[in-house]
Structure 1
Amino acid sequence: MLLRLLLVLLVSLHCVVARAQDSLINIIPKPVSVKSLAGSFALNNDVLLVYNNDSSQSIAQFFKESISISTGLRVNISHENQFIGKEKSIRFHLLGFRDNIIGSEGYRLQVHPTCIEISANNTGGLFYGMQTLLQLLPSEIESLKPVNRHSWSIPCVDILDYPRFGWRGMLLDVSRHFFPKEYVKKYIDYMSKYKYNVFHWHLTDDQGWRLEIKSFPKLTEIGAWRAPRMGEWWSQSPQYDGEPATYGGFYTRNDVKEIVEYAAARNITVLPEIDVPGHSMAALAAYPELSCLGGNFKPNVGDKFYKKIENSFCIGNECSFELMDSVITEVAEMFPGKYIHIGGDECHKGFWEKCPKCKARMKTDSISTLEGLQSYFIHRMEQLIVSKGKRMIGWDEILEGGLAPEATVMSWRGLKGGIEAANMGHNVIMTPDKYCYLDLYQGDPDVEYKTYSMNRLSTSYSLDPVPEGIDKKYILGGQGNLWTENIPNTRHLEYMVWPRAFALSEVFWTPQKNRNWDDFSRRMEVQLNRFDAAQINYAKSAYDPIIRVNKNYQGSYIINVTAEINGLDIYYSFEGPDPDSFYPKYSQPLEIPKGADTFKAVTYRNGKPIGKVVTLKIKDLDKRMRQTN
């Protein structure tokens, strides 16, 4: 009896220790397999970083630099031939054989009390293993200044990990608002921490041409600058003649080289996007002869112009193709990745319809529709790109009029374009706006900065990039897209990206069966602590009340309140002042009291407010019904 009781106590103790260890494992994206072990590894100056070749040495050096500021540690690095074996060590080991389980970007990470070993087939996998190791350290490791901490402890674990998809991208639009080189590098840094491997750089649009092209210097001399404006996008007054164009900037060839190399050191490929034939007003401002009808063009400042002013290349004018030949030649020289993104989206064709040169092109080349004219342009772009040794990617509009033979489709208008392209045997990158657009509302529009549609954190997390019935071999992966019309500065940029980029990183890396919303939201909170230490901004919109309005069978309005994060308490008021935990607690749908003109709700956890107060004016019930149903 005593022996049985002892066994029960030992098992219980083991479970408690395991749960305590598991609470320290808050990695995003979630690894394929994590086994918690007893004990911990103490990181201090006695630890030796060990490598086995030049590539693994670079990862060891990266790790040393990553921990140096916050910890103040000055650990040494040694080749394994000089490693005696008695010291506490962290080993960065590139395998001499192929481990088929982990593939090209996977890794194995084992933490024991006296030794840590990260092993991988390639440098990329070793880098990701190192990033996971950094996430096992306390949140203060991300601090930008020394932290007075008694010890830096790493829980003992055995991790096997590899990505679900090979393409895990993030887009940054630097055309609507220009972001300097140093911030682009910071953006890449945080992509790499969460195992993204493609930086999609949206370099040209109506509002600015951001890439130096030696053969056509006016693209940046004129196209990179516009008149300054502040306030809501699409509500601005147009730039007037003679107004100084002082807002903007561009990246030189040396800037590009520096950023490409910086990204490569973090296992990230840079995908350049030159968005044509539409979205080209900045290019037309530099070279008006590229247009159909001519005019006095200026880079757009945020005023409404679509369909009123030309913003597309003239397809009937051969100089459009001569310019693009030069542009693609220089882009191919600057960017070593195998893809160039050609845009192809949202191209208004009305001016082509009026253009004598476009009509002549259609007649000469037997093109019967305006969609066919765009397809003609895209096919020629692919020929150009292939002639430079690259492959072409375009938004799903490139399907219109017939898809170029080897094109890869980036599907943004839902999943439909990606499904169509995959069924045609083309590779697809899934980035549907409903799930992947990071410039959309992530909380109640009444308490968020103005944008135009909704994409909550839980919605991003719910994406499966492989639609049912599609051959998954054609789905390269997916990416999150940050368009910056309404994002004029870096603090707001970070607020819009995080934590939704956590969710998408897990969508693109972690096996579908391993994903769980409650588990993710718990781990996310630890990551947010790391962002606090690093002074990175983020949104807590997922903690805000979500107010929905319906009608019951009698036709009366009913208010429902939920939150994305489970386990929160919701308090509400129909009487003006902001509610707190002394107000009624929400438990079921609410009827509206007679005479009430305002409804307010707030979320609490553990007796403390955690979300914003969200307000609904009773006069706006019908509007809210349209928004939420």
Structure 2
Amino acid sequence: MRLLLFTALLLLTSASYAQQPVHLIPEPVSVQTQAGHFALTKATTIAYSRPESATLAALLAQQLAGQTSFTLTSKAVLVAPANAIFLVLNSLPDARLGREGYKLSSGPKGITISANQSAGLFYGAQTLLQLLPVERTQPGSLKTATLLIPAVKIVDYPRFGWRGVMLDVSRSFFPKADVMRYIDELAQLKINTLHWHLTDDNGWRIEIKSLPRLTSVGAWRVPRDGHFGERPNPKPGEAATYGGFYTQEEVREIVRYAQARNITIVPEVDVPGHSMAILAAYPELSCSKDTSVRVNPGTQFAEWYGNGSFKMLIDNTLNPSDEAVYTFLDKVFGEIAALFPGQYIHAGGDECYHGYWAKDPGCQALMKREGMTKVEELQGYFMGRVEQIINAKGKKFMGWDEILEGGTVSPSATVMSWRGMKGGIEAAKNGHDVVMSPSTFAYLDYMQSDPTLEPRIYASLRLKTCYNFEPVPADVDSTRILGGQGNLWTEQAPTMGHVEYMSFPRAWALAEVFWTPRNRRDWAGFIPRMETQMQRAEQANINYARAAYDPIVTTVLADNKLTVMLDSEIPGSDIYYSIDDTMPGRYSPRYSQPLLIPEGNVTLRVVTYRNGKPSGRQLTLKRDELVKRAPK
């Protein structure tokens, strides 16, 4: 009787799983669904064709154990065994697949993942993990005795070689375990580059043995809560107790962890601006030589004028005319180069204030000696010297698009364009390799929804905008565009849970932008795959935002008449509203055309529904707030 019941349940679940669509992020180059499925059980083995795949097989077994009740064994074989996941390194390379591409074939007899190199096998394994059924009960139950994986044939390879995410650990410090967790989450999306922003005004996060004050002083600041940029200044004698840094052994461990997941870590030391943590430890390296400078806890130390220009109220720049600065940087980059096996070191170069340079006699003498007519040219001189130091360590120099100012960096310098696409276009036309990371498409710290629903940040970036990012501009040599990157600054992201909230699902969208062929990208098709990914994130205890479901409100004020338009990023959403001081829901008026808002003390309340259920957060706006939103 129990055997009959088990058989009946297995048949029912087989039918259910067979009907489930294949939802993968990023979308592969080609997916062909087949009849049937592969039954994954605790008796399934992970087989591999070459000894160098043993480590990957063990990692896949570990990842499967984390998602299932199975602890699978692995072994080297010559031919594919039955009831196995077979990892095959091609003896004859497939030109289509390149270094990171793979083929995956699943069917009743087994699963085969083949690739030219180990990176491709790893990405095939990440796709396999997304083929597991979404709905699974706790380990040991009847339902998890067999997991049915759909029969498919997948051919896949990336569009871009640089698929990056930047994590800022200066403004908020995250311990080693958090960084490793984030690496795992990125690797599952086929992200292959973690840009690690290790230094800034708010903390120095990496041990430099020859310069111990960088971590004994520069890694710590006074504790502060509240909105970044509006926090109180340090008090005289107040202890600096917030912060931390990574020892060199921890860095090596994190690098190895990332390498096993096909992620290259690109370290960034941000100079000559954003150097307050350096100057707290070594004030003699600035023009002002101000010994009162402390690691900044999030106070306002600059005036911004809205057109991109600004004035620093505290000197946070290194002195480009002081040879001691270059001796210091030679030590820093020498130790960093030994820790990171990747080919790039990022040296920042952004948002450098030149006001202190303009008043400094040493800087003026340098300008005269070098024939400079503008103080901005000192930036180019400084970055040119930094490039020489980094190249001497056997690494390639990379910086934000400001490194082009002054015109002294070599064509071999790689430019990361953040101030829109313009800097990247200029760099590519001048022969530089470029990574596109424009704030308009790729800044993951920006608000994701209506400003009244999200923690306050100075700009917004919606999920759909991320998904519509095209890294290759028209009339630019596409071979100069290495790829793209999402950037997460952490002024307002103090915990890994909030890092995840700000990253996902926008990093899911960017991962597809960077991997999937442009003609395979489809916003409407992305939504159900995103929703499946949300279910997987729930099971993995990964935080994410549902901001894309929130209503969008725009207004027009003409002839003293206020008109409101309602929308949602998610296709097919139903939008309900009220202006009569009732709570909106599916029994309220359904939005179908622009609304004329009457005068008086009126409050608009809006909610969204998807498939008959509430999906987004309620948006509540008074009439005067709606008026302020209207274009002037």
TM-score (normalizing by structure 2): 0.94
Mapping for residues 486-565 of structure 1, pairs under 5 Å = 486-552=492-558, 554-565=559-570
Mapping for residues 13-32 of structure 1, pairs under 5 Å = 23-32=20-29
Q: Deviations over 1:577-599 (max 9, x none)?
A: 33111111110000012324211
User: C-alpha displacement at 1:54, in angstroms?
Assistant: 2.3
**Cα RMSD, aligned residues only:** 1.8
2:402 aligned counterpart, secondary structure: helix
- Out of 477, 488, 495, the position equivalent to 1:482 is 488
CA contact (8 A) 1:24 1:136 kept: no
Q: Does 1:153 pair with 2:148? A: yes
Residue 297 of structure 2 is matched in structure 1 by 301
Residue 178 of structure 1 is matched in structure 2 by 173
Q: Deviations over 1:523-570 (max 9, x none)?
A: 000000001001111100000000001135x45211000000011111
Q: Which amino acid aligns with 2:47?
A: V
Q: Which amino acid aligns with 2:245?
A: F
Residue 461 of structure 1 is matched in structure 2 by 467
Mapping for residues 225-264 of structure 1, pairs under 5 Å = 225-264=220-259
User: C-alpha displacement at 1:77, in angstroms?
Assistant: 1.6
Residue 410 of structure 1 is matched in structure 2 by 416
Mapping for residues 578-597 of structure 1, pairs under 5 Å = 578-597=583-602
Q: Which runs of 5+ in 1 are unaligned?
A: 1-16
Q: State the alpha-carbon separation in 1 of the partners of residues 141 and 430 from structure 2.
A: 55
Mapping for residues 334-483 of structure 1, pairs under 5 Å = 334-405=339-410, 406-483=412-489
Q: Does 1:617 pair with 2:614? A: no
Residue 47 of structure 2 is matched in structure 1 by 50
Distance 1:69 1:228, change over 3 A: same
Q: State the alpha-carbon separation in 1 of the partners of residues 16 and 156 from structure 2.
A: 21
User: C-alpha displacement at 1:182, in angstroms?
Assistant: 0.5
CA contact (8 A) 1:137 1:152 kept: yes
User: C-alpha displacement at 1:147, in angstroms?
Assistant: 6.7
Q: Which amino acid aligns with 2:563?
A: I
Distance 1:148 1:544, change over 3 A: farther
Distance 1:419 1:89, change over 3 A: same
Residue 12 of structure 1 is matched in structure 2 by none
Residue 37 of structure 2 is matched in structure 1 by 40
Q: Which amino acid aligns with 1:468?
A: A
Q: Does 1:137 pair with 2:132? A: yes
CA contact (8 A) 1:69 1:144 kept: no
Aligned residues with identical type, % of pairs:
50
User: C-alpha displacement at 1:489, in angstroms?
Assistant: 1.2
- Out of 97, 110, 135, the position equivalent to 1:102 is 97
Q: Deviations over 1:496-515 (max 9, x none)?
A: 00000000000000000000
Q: Does 1:198 pair with 2:193? A: yes
**Count of residues in correspondence between the two structures:** 607
2:415 aligned counterpart, secondary structure: strand
Q: State the alpha-carbon separation in 2 of the partners of residues 194 and 40 from structure 1.
A: 24
- Out of 277, 288, 299, the position equivalent to 2:272 is 277
Q: State the alpha-carbon separation in 2 of the partners of residues 91 and 420 from structure 1.
A: 47
User: C-alpha displacement at 1:491, in angstroms?
Assistant: 1.5
Q: State the alpha-carbon separation in 2 of the partners of residues 438 and 66 from structure 1.
A: 27
2:64 aligned counterpart, secondary structure: helix
User: C-alpha displacement at 1:62, in angstroms?
Assistant: 1.2
User: C-alpha displacement at 1:119, in angstroms?
Assistant: 0.3
Distance 1:449 1:539, change over 3 A: same
Q: Deviations over 1:289-311 (max 9, x none)?
A: 01101211101111111211000
Q: State the alpha-carbon separation in 2 of the partners of residues 198 and 374 from structure 1.
A: 27
Distance 1:361 1:403, change over 3 A: closer
- Out of 85, 88, 91, the position equivalent to 2:83 is 88
User: C-alpha displacement at 1:209, in angstroms?
Assistant: 0.4
Residue 9 of structure 1 is matched in structure 2 by none
Residue 207 of structure 1 is matched in structure 2 by 202
User: C-alpha displacement at 1:178, in angstroms?
Assistant: 0.3
Q: State the alpha-carbon separation in 1 of the partners of residues 495 and 56 from structure 2.
A: 32
2:484 aligned counterpart, secondary structure: strand
Q: State the alpha-carbon separation in 2 of the partners of residues 147 and 598 from structure 1.
A: 51
User: C-alpha displacement at 1:145, in angstroms?
Assistant: 7.1
CA contact (8 A) 1:70 1:145 kept: no
Q: State the alpha-carbon separation in 2 of the partners of residues 148 and 225 from structure 1.
A: 52
Distance 1:243 1:452, change over 3 A: same
CA contact (8 A) 1:543 1:611 kept: yes
User: C-alpha displacement at 1:23, in angstroms?
Assistant: 4.1
Distance 1:329 1:140, change over 3 A: farther
Q: Deviations over 1:461-496 (max 9, x none)?
A: 000100011110000001110000011112111110
Mapping for residues 108-123 of structure 1, pairs under 5 Å = 108-123=103-118
Q: State the alpha-carbon separation in 2 of the partners of residues 124 and 22 from structure 1.
A: 31
CA contact (8 A) 1:70 1:140 kept: no
Q: Deviations over 1:308-333 (max 9, x none)?
A: 10000011111111100100100100
Q: State the alpha-carbon separation in 2 of the partners of residues 412 and 147 from structure 1.
A: 50
The 10-residue stretch of structure 1 (63-72 or 490-499) with the greater mean CA deviation from structure 2 = 63-72
CA contact (8 A) 1:229 1:236 kept: yes
Q: State the alpha-carbon separation in 2 of the partners of residues 147 and 198 from structure 1.
A: 38
Distance 1:213 1:147, change over 3 A: farther
1:508 aligned counterpart, secondary structure: helix
CA contact (8 A) 1:579 1:601 kept: yes
Q: State the alpha-carbon separation in 2 of the partners of residues 546 and 225 from structure 1.
A: 41
- Out of 287, 291, 297, the position equivalent to 2:286 is 291
Q: State the alpha-carbon separation in 2 of the partners of residues 86 and 515 from structure 1.
A: 36
Q: Deviations over 1:159-193 (max 9, x none)?
A: 00000000000100000010000000000000000
Q: State the alpha-carbon separation in 2 of the partners of residues 101 and 48 from structure 1.
A: 29
Q: State the alpha-carbon separation in 2 of the partners of residues 146 and 617 from structure 1.
A: 53
CA contact (8 A) 1:344 1:394 kept: yes
1:163 aligned counterpart, secondary structure: coil
User: C-alpha displacement at 1:56, in angstroms?
Assistant: 1.7
User: C-alpha displacement at 1:148, in angstroms?
Assistant: 6.1
Q: State the alpha-carbon separation in 2 of the partners of residues 577 and 223 from structure 1.
A: 54
1:446 aligned counterpart, secondary structure: coil
Q: State the alpha-carbon separation in 2 of the partners of residues 550 and 233 from structure 1.
A: 33
Residue 605 of structure 1 is matched in structure 2 by 610
User: C-alpha displacement at 1:241, in angstroms?
Assistant: 2.2
1:139 aligned counterpart, secondary structure: coil
2:214 aligned counterpart, secondary structure: helix
Q: State the alpha-carbon separation in 2 of the partners of residues 175 and 86 from structure 1.
A: 50
Q: Which amino acid aligns with 1:412?
A: W
CA contact (8 A) 1:316 1:361 kept: yes
Q: State the alpha-carbon separation in 2 of the partners of residues 257 and 139 from structure 1.
A: 35
Q: Deviations over 1:423-481 (max 9, x none)?
A: 00110000000110000011001011111101000000000100011110000001110
1:133 aligned counterpart, secondary structure: helix
